[in-house]
Structures are given as structure tokens and as C-alpha cells.
Structure 1
Amino acid sequence: MKNKLLLLLLVLVNNVTAQDTIISLWPKGKIPNHIESQEKELHEQNEILRISKVQVPTIEVYLPSKRDATGEAVLIFPGGGYGILAYDWEGTDIAKFFNSKGIAGIVVKYRLPSDVSQKDKKYVPLIDAQRAIRLVRSNAEQFNLKSNKIGIIGFSAGGHLASTLGTHFNEKVYKAVDDIDNESARPDFMALGYPVISFGELTHQGSKRNLIGKNASIHIVDYFSNEKQVTEQTPPTFLLHATDDTVVPVENSLLFYKAVKEKGVSATMHIYPKGGHGFGLGLHDEHLKDWSDLLIDWMVSLR
């Protein structure tokens, strides 16, 4: 009996230390572009934790020990076609990897486009993304971070959101609600894993439809085709994709690489011959499993 109690205590302690804290992005009652409704957030756990219909966006903060900390942080945007969030596969698992390297991993549970609980759904993920990086910057001292070493990573549709933040960080897409909104929303670096980039012919139709609808104007299509929105201020970029990706064509990454190169933005790109779509850390694939170490090497080169 004593052994069972000890084991339970150890499990509880490990859970507490692994997950540092969850913080709401917005003060209560001040979520921009939000409509009170009967829509409820859903969590479905099978092989992957899928979260949909997000109502209260948050950041989940995983911090390394102070002794190991580099002072860097990466905000993580899970994918899921703007319909769900693959919250552990492309979120908390990634955060724990960063922790093992002394880097803070911060998972963003951002709102997904909704015609029920939002006034203008197409801007809502970007609104939450801007707020998330501002919130982290405002807590840099508390989290033992360097405010100029805060980057982002996104996968699939989360890669689209990350690249949207990396190209639209200066745009005012919501009214400030407090002093946190005075912080810069520009990421210091950006990593994009098998990202949706373009809303043109090469797009992932589900992500495009969920975000901007079926009959969006050419202006809106171009606005969210992020290869067309790159400037000299776009952050240094790391791109990762597989050639045989049949969900999000590899040309999405190629287009973005070409765009940042033309603007003189530092970039690196790793294209694998096989891997398909949505491989996460790729730990069970001999060819893919080292991509995360390549990312860390690239981050070191930016220091």
C-alpha cells in the first residue's frame, strides 16, 4: 500500500513539474471579435488530443530549469486545418522537446474560425497569435527569458498562422485591451513545419475554406497568401517539408523560401524525399527524426 501511495505521489509531482502554467490570453470579458454563444470547446483524445471550438484561448508554458535555460522561447502553433488543434502531437510534445534543450516551449491554444462565436472569423487566429507573443514578451522576466529571443513554430495550418504572424505582425487587427498590447508582436525567428503558405492553387483547400470561406475576394486570398506578404522585416525562417506530402504540397515551402530570399531575409530549408504530412517530431523515422536537431543548430547560429 505504501509503495502504491509513493508511486501516485511521484506521478503527481512529475505532472506538476512538467506543465508549468496555463494563462488566458485575454482578460475576462475582453476577448476581441467574440460573440457569446452556446458553442462549447471540445477535447477528444484518441491517439492525438484534438481540441476544437476553442472558446478561451490560452498559452501553456513549459519552462526548462533555470540552470539549463538559454533564455530563448518558442511559441508553438499546432496544426489541424483550422478545424481542430493537434494539441499534443504538434504542441505539448514539441514543447517538451524544446525544454530538453534548455528552451521554453509555449503552446498556443488559439481560437479556430467560427461563424457562431466570432464576428469576423478570418482574423481571429492572427488576433490570438499577436496577443500570445505580446503576452510572453510582457512576462519575459518572470519566465527567465530574453525578450529579443522569442520565436515561433507552426505546423501545417499552424504553419500558416505562424507565417501570417511573421508577415502581418505590425498590422492592427484588434483594439488594445491593456498595456500588454504595447509589446512588439514580431517574432525574433520563425520555423514552419510542412506549412500551408499560399491560398492560391497550391493551397490546402480545407484550411483555406475554414479560415476565409468559399467565396473570398482576391484581396483576402492574397492577404492570406503569405508568400506575397514577405518584407525585409520578416523574421529569419526555418522551413521543413517532405516532397511526397500529398496534403500540403511542398511547393508551399518553396514559394516562401523564394520570397524571403528575394527580400534578403536569412532562411534555411530542409526538404525530405519521404515523410508525407503531419509527421510531428518524426521519432519513428530514421530519415526524419533528426530534423529537430537541425532546428536547434539553426537557432544556435542566430545567437
Structure 2
Amino acid sequence: MSIASTAQEITLPLWPAGKVPNYQKTNETEKSDTTDIVRISKVQNPEIAVFIPSKKSATGQAVVICPGGGYGILAYNWEGTDIAKWFNSKGITAIVLKYRLPNSKSNIVPDKSPLMDAQRAIRLVRANADKWNIKMNRVGIMGFSAGGHLASTAGTHFDNGNAGAADPIDRLSSRPDFMILMYPVITMSKPTMHSGSRNNLIGQNASSEQAKFYSAELNVTKETPPTFLAHATDDNGVPVENSLMFYQALKDHGIPAEMHLYPKGGHGFGLALGIPETESWTDRCIDWMRSLNK
């Protein structure tokens, strides 16, 4: 464990040393490009960066944040640490997930690693709930673009934990208590799918069963958590229909959902600073999160 100079950020490995599942040692090394935003690729050691607000202002809520990047890179600060710091200002503990990407040679089965890491992150947060001033039933997940796909997959494929697991963390539930999906990739089906995310995750020749598993709109059940969605209509990267499809599936199953569609913002607007039509999404999101505590 390392503690940053602010004493408010804690970095933890997701898995015990030498016990990362679905991992094989290769000559790959993690890469980071900091040209304009921090872009991380070839993740070898998945981890979480935990941003903890003051105990006095803590709401008890926590959000695991999955940065986007088409399953090829992670937009680590733009859709990760910047978001976490904003959450902290609202008394919410934020956990930025540095998850493994399927295009790394270090994966044994490429598509399995991101979901494994997301599920583990939720369990790890619950395991540290008391230490981080979190309530165990207020742990959600958030994702942007392909990170939104990962978040929606975690929200539609989860378990209650393995009571007989040797690792006590694996005994905890991986079900998020809520989801926040920002311009998310949802479906793996034409014509609405984002082909880059699909190809990076499951490949062009994926089976129909694999495509169905990773199409979140087809996996909603009555156990799917409440969801907040935000998307720009002029998104030319991930069509707004992805959010519309998921909202409809939630509605059909009686899952509480709130969706905000904005006329402008394009794709990848992050906090949407300086985009007047869209930047109020943060206020709407906090209002919605507060309503969950009532």
C-alpha cells in the first residue's frame, strides 16, 4: 500500500501478489502517454486509487470509476481521477479502477480480465468499508464509454460472493448498489454497437453467445441496480441509442432509472466543463445519488 502526499489518496493492488487470475507473465510493460490527458495501456498490475473525503463530510456512498478508452487504453485522469476529485468535493468516496485491457498479451482469455477486475474492485471496497467511512450497501459503479460498458456488465453479471472462499474478500457480493453510465457502450449488435470496443473486447468473429453476454440490454433482470444515464445526442462515437436501449430494458424490468440526453457534448465530454448545454449533468447526478439515500 502506498499513500500519496495528500494523505487522501490510497493506492491498492486489486489482487495479492502473484495471484492475479487470468494472467500470464510476458515481456509486456505498462505504458502511459501524458500528451494532453493520461492514457494508460497494457496494464499489468490492476489496482485501485481510493480518494477519501473528510470523515465529517462523508455521505457513506462510494463509486468505483471505470475510465473509458475503447478497451484499448484508459483515459485515466479525464474519466478517472478528475471525476474522483469532484466526487470527493461532494462527500463521496471515489475509487478509480485501473483495469486490465483485453488487447494485452498477458491475458489468458482476453475478454475476461476487465470484468474480473471490476467485480474484485467492488468486493475490495466493501471489505474496506469501515476504514473508508463507507456503508456497504451504498457502493456503486460508474463508467465512461467503454468503461460504461464494463460498469453495465458488472451491473448485469454479478454474484453474492463465495462463502467458502479462502480469501475473505471473495466472500463479499460483487453486485453494485447503483450504476452511473456516461455515454456508455451497451450493445454488441449492429447497427448501434461501437465496433472498436467490440473488436477489442471480443473480436470480429465472436460467437453469438459471447455477443449476447456482453450486450447489457439483453441481460437486465429484476436484480439489476438503479441506474443513472447521461448521453449527448450529437455523439458520433457511441450512438445515443446505446443509452436508449438500456433505459428501455431497465423500464421493462421495473428498475428505477434516470436518463439525461443533451443536444451537444459529442463523445467523451467528461465533466463537460465549458459545454453549457451539458455541464449540468454533474448536478443532476448528485441529486440522483442523494435520492438513493432516502
Q: TM-score normalized by structure 2?
A: 0.95
Q: Which residue of 1 aligns with 2:15?
A: 26
Deviation at 1:170, TM superposition (A): 2.1
**Change in 2 beyond 3 A, CA 1:180/1:194:** same
Taking the aligned partners of 1:34 and 1:170, their CA distance within structure 2 comes to 22
Matched residue count: 288
Pairwise CA distance, 1:114? 3.1
- Residues 149-169 of structure 1: CA distance to partner in whole angstroms, max 9, x if unpaired? 111110000000000000001
Instruction: Report the equivalent of 1:167.
Output: 156
The answer to whether the Cα contact below 8 Å between 1:77 and 1:155 also exists between their aligned partners in 2 is yes
CA contact (8 A) 2:161 2:173 kept: no
* Offset, 1:176: 5.4
Structure with greater proportional helix content: 1
Q: CA deviation at 1:231?
A: 0.4
1:287 equivalenced with 2:291 (yes/no):
no
- Offset of residue 97 of structure 1: 0.4
TM-score by length of 1: 0.92
**1:131 lines up with 2:120 in the alignment:** yes
Contact 1:76 1:152 in 2 (8 A): yes
1:283 deviates by: 1.0
1:93-146: CA deviation from partner (whole Å, max 9, x where unpaired): 000000000000110000000351111011110000000000000000011110
| Among 62, 74, 89, the residue aligned to 1:73 | 62
Q: Secondary structure at the match of 2:111?
A: helix
User: Is the Cα–Cα contact under 8 Å of residues 18 and 62 in structure 1 kept in the other structure?
Assistant: no
Report what 1:157 is aligned to.
146
Structure 2 residue aligned with 1:9: none
For 2:218 and 2:279, the matched residues in 1 are separated by 31
Tell me which of 209, 225, 233 is aligned to 1:243: 233
Of the two, which has the highest radius of gyration? 1
1:172-217 CA distance string (max 9 Å, x none): 99x9561101100000110000000000011111100000011000
Indicate conservation of the 8 Å contact 1:53/1:112, yes or no.
yes
2:87 counterpart SS class = helix
| Distance change in 2, residues 1:192/1:276 (3 Å) | same
Q: Given residue 233 of structure 1, which amino acid in structure 2 is its aligned partner?
A: E
For 1:149, give the aligned amino acid: R
Quick check: 1:20–1:62 contact (8 Å CA) kept in 2? Answer: yes
Runs of 4+ displaced beyond 3 Å: none
1:228 and 2:228 are equivalent in the alignment:
no
**Is residue 40 of structure 2 the alignment partner of residue 51 of structure 1?**
yes
The Cα shift of 1:287 comes to 1.4
Corresponding residue SS for 2:149: helix
> Which residue of the partner structure matches residue 175 of structure 2?
186
> Residue type of the partner of 2:78?
W
The one of 21, 24, 44 equivalent to 1:35 is 24
Q: How far apart, CA to CA, are the structure 1 residues paired with 2:63 and 2:113?
A: 21
Gaps of 5+ in 2: none
AA matched with 1:58: E
Within the alignment, does 1:148 sit opposite 2:137 as a pair? yes
- Residues 15-71 of structure 1: CA deviation (Å, up to 9, x unaligned): 622752100000000000001000100011011100000000000000000111111
Over aligned residues, Cα RMSD in angstroms? 1.5
Letter of the 2:154 partner, please give it.
L
